[in-house]
Structure 1
Amino acid sequence: MDKKYQIFISSTYEDLKNERDQVIKAILEMGHIPLGMEMFSAGDEEQWQLIKRQIDDSDYYVVITAHRYGSVTDEGISYTEKEYDYACEQGVPTLGFIIDDKAQWPQNICDKSDKDIRALDNFKNKIRTKMMQSWSNKDDLYGKIAISLTKQFNLKPRKGWVRSDQITNPEIPNELARLSEENAFLRNQINELSALDNKEQSIKQSIKQLQSYSFEISTKDKKYSKPFNYVELFLKISKRLLEQDYSYRFNIYLSSEILGRNQSEELISTNDVKTWLCDLETFNLIDRVRISDDIRLVKWGITEHGRDILAYYRKIELSHPNPKSETVIET
């Protein structure tokens, strides 16, 4: 779409007439729309309202200064400075062009009073706080205008103007934006579901691996024993893991809960319990929350992966509330 920008040109008039003509020429040659104060009469409040509307509609604002401050408004500032302040207030990108102090300039179009000179200096300092270039003559200004505007078009692209026959249905951009937002939402949903599916597959794989390791839980004298796998062991001690507990208490707990032995009777071997806990740690189901050189005083807790497996089994229990049923992991 061929976009044209409207550029408001502000300056004193009589002393910069030739320079303004060069600026207008440069903008027209770039294919854009120059707009100047030549069509407005200074001092007319209705015309000032019109100037404000034109600045509002402009995409960029150019101010040119030489050695005259210009006619002063009732507020005590020049009309040029008033226009500049208004453009800044409205957020219109501004480009300032201040004549070089060393440039030759006719004395008859320079301010003579100290008051005007100070006001002009203050205005120039204000312009220097934003994007600004110096110029030495109208040809120099002509070249710098074109370069500076081109940079601004790239740095701060604006709405601009287009031919009516180039305008598409205004509902189309809104619909495209809506569809883009909906597409992003659905893609995010798919990614989340995919992540959940991958997580569940990982949990099932871990359970299958844990179920493949079988061992005997027995007392030291081997009088009492029971076959077990690591899933069953982990689920059996999970409550104590959630509360965090010491190694030696797992020995007592397993002897009581699995083999029916009390603390005064023959218990499971401490070395066996130590091996099982270390194996569960290797499977990333538990970790040490308190370190000790004495393995009996190591405190154990459950890992995030361990919580995922517990949540998986809890979900199955809630779906099939039969405590005697065995959980089958589908492959």
Structure 2
Amino acid sequence: MLDKRYQVFISTSGSEMQPERIVLAQTLVGMGFFSWGLEQRTPLSTAFARRQIDDCDYVVLLVGSQYGEQSVSGVGYMHLEYIYAVTKQKPIIVFMHEDPASRDESLHDQKPELREKFLEFRKLLQQEVDQIFTYRSLRDLEMAVRFNMSQMLERYPVSGWVRPQNTQALHDQIDQLKAKIEQLETEVGKREVDPFLSLPKVSMNELFSFEYRMHAYQDGNFKELKIQKKLTWAQLLSILGSMFVNPTPEEYFSKCINDYLNETGLADARMEMPRAHAVARAQINIRALHSIKLQMRQNDWIVPSGRDDRQRMLWQLTLKGQKLLESNLLDNDRVFQFKSAF
């Protein structure tokens, strides 16, 4: 078995969680994990926290009875770190105090509005995160970490860090997996009926309706909105086309569209929340995203073009798609270019 190590980013509300943080960090180290995280947060430390999340394998939220210190936008730093981890698709596990009200009064937020935000954030985590475990004492926390972090390695396997002398064994495993993938793809290709045969082509000005979710922020609070949106196929090709001029991993379909929705979603949010000042965590419905990929392939705008060295499926704009993108046929529906929020 390979001698692997995994990096874990720990996020808490602040210094009142110091005893729990120490237990968590010591337990993780004893299990072979590297633990990271920031106890003191400032606007200047946000970029550093994001870099740590980018480099980590897992994100652990340790939730007691406080919302914690807030950023200038009114959103807590722990809350912001959670949002960023979700956008980066990091495996998230939450250790949450079972009964926050039973904790000492000094461990609670003093302001009523912060107590309300804490309860909303706690409810949000319970709704969105699959891996949530409760504790009442430090001993409970230690046992929960020991058992459930081991389970996380099985449920959400990641590459981790391997000692240099063990890399040959890892390369051997990769070669074996590549051979297995090629074999399975060949077998599936022989049995599979082409799903595109029954899919009709669409015109450039035809509308496509889809749902997406996002968080909208207003007056220091946030609300998750479900938005019904319509874009023409010309607009969708304009959004996605430039990303796939060269062979690009399939995951960039969702990244590209979600980035666009993050940049343009404020207008949609203000239809329901007129004073909304920012939006984040826009995510297109997964079925709608799949339909867009199938339709663009059926229209011969974009096609699979092999795999990269990490065995990710690559897609590329066709010559037909490039000509449409470069022509004036999209001008009436041209989508303005946007920058990623992260």
Q: TM-score, normalised by structure 2?
A: 0.49
Q: Residues 185, 122 of structure 1: CA spacing in aligned structure 2 closer, same or farther, 3 A cutoff?
A: closer
Q: Residues 137, 175 of structure 1: CA spacing in aligned structure 2 closer, same or farther, 3 A cutoff?
A: closer
Q: What is the identity percentage for the equivalent residue pairs of Structure 1 and Structure 2?
A: 23
| Superposition RMSD in Å | 3.0
Aligned partners of 1:75 and 1:121: how far apart in 2? 19
Q: Conserved in 1, the CA contact under 8 Å of 2:64 and 2:100?
A: no
Tell me the equivalent position of 2:60. Answer: 62
Aligned partners of 2:186 and 2:114: how far apart in 1? 64
Aligned partners of 1:184 and 1:67: how far apart in 2? 50
Tell me the equivalent position of 1:97. Answer: 95
Q: Conserved in 1, the CA contact under 8 Å of 2:65 and 2:100?
A: no
Which residue, out of 106, 122, 125, partners 2:123? Answer: 125
Q: Secondary structure at the residue paired with 1:25?
A: helix
Q: Secondary structure at the residue paired with 1:167?
A: helix
Measure how far apart 1:75 and its partner are. Answer: 2.0
- CA offsets per residue over residues 273-313 of structure 1, 9 Å max, x none? xxxxxxxxxxxxxxxxxxxxxxxxxxxxxxxxxxxxxxxxx
Tell me the equivalent position of 1:13. Answer: 14
Aligned partners of 2:67 and 2:23: how far apart in 1? 21
Aligned partners of 2:188 and 2:82: how far apart in 1? 47
Q: Identify the structure with the greater helix proportion.
A: 1
Aligned partners of 1:143 and 1:8: how far apart in 2? 19
Q: Residues 10, 188 of structure 1: CA spacing in aligned structure 2 closer, same or farther, 3 A cutoff?
A: closer
Aligned AA for 1:7? V
Aligned partners of 1:68 and 1:181: how far apart in 2? 47
1:282-293 alignment to 2 at 5 Å?
A: none
- CA offsets per residue over residues 254-274 of structure 1, 9 Å max, x none? xxxxxxxxxxxxxxxxxxxxx
Tell me the equivalent position of 1:80. Answer: 78
Aligned partners of 1:76 and 1:115: how far apart in 2? 11
Aligned AA for 2:77? Y
Aligned AA for 2:14? Y
Aligned AA for 2:124? K
Measure how far apart 1:82 and its partner are. Answer: 0.5
Q: Identify the structure with the greater strand proportion.
A: 2
Tell me the equivalent position of 1:298. Answer: none
Aligned partners of 1:121 and 1:138: how far apart in 2? 22
Tell me the equivalent position of 2:113. Answer: 115
Aligned AA for 1:35? W
Tell me the equivalent position of 2:3. Answer: 2
Measure how far apart 1:179 and its partner are. Answer: 4.8
For the pair shown, the structure with the greater C-alpha radius of gyration is 1
Gaps of 5+ in 2: 190-342
Q: Conserved in 2, the CA contact under 8 Å of 1:103 and 1:136?
A: no
Q: Secondary structure at the residue paired with 2:145?
A: helix
- The question of 1:49 aligning with 2:50 is answered no
Q: Conserved in 1, the CA contact under 8 Å of 2:24 and 2:145?
A: yes
Aligned partners of 2:170 and 2:77: how far apart in 1? 38
Q: Secondary structure at the residue paired with 1:61?
A: strand
Q: Residues 102, 179 of structure 1: CA spacing in aligned structure 2 closer, same or farther, 3 A cutoff?
A: closer
Measure how far apart 1:6 and its partner are. Answer: 0.8
Worse-matched range after superposition: 84-93 or 169-178: 169-178
Measure how far apart 1:50 and its partner are. Answer: 1.9
Aligned AA for 1:133? F
Tell me the equivalent position of 1:166. Answer: 166
- CA offsets per residue over residues 124-146 of structure 1, 9 Å max, x none? 01111212122112111111111
Q: Conserved in 2, the CA contact under 8 Å of 1:96 and 1:128?
A: no
Tell me the equivalent position of 1:106. Answer: 104
Give the 4+ runs in structure 1 shifted more than 3 A: 169-189
Aligned partners of 1:56 and 1:4: how far apart in 2? 16
Tell me the equivalent position of 1:141. Answer: 141
Q: Conserved in 2, the CA contact under 8 Å of 1:98 and 1:134?
A: yes
Aligned partners of 1:94 and 1:186: how far apart in 2? 35
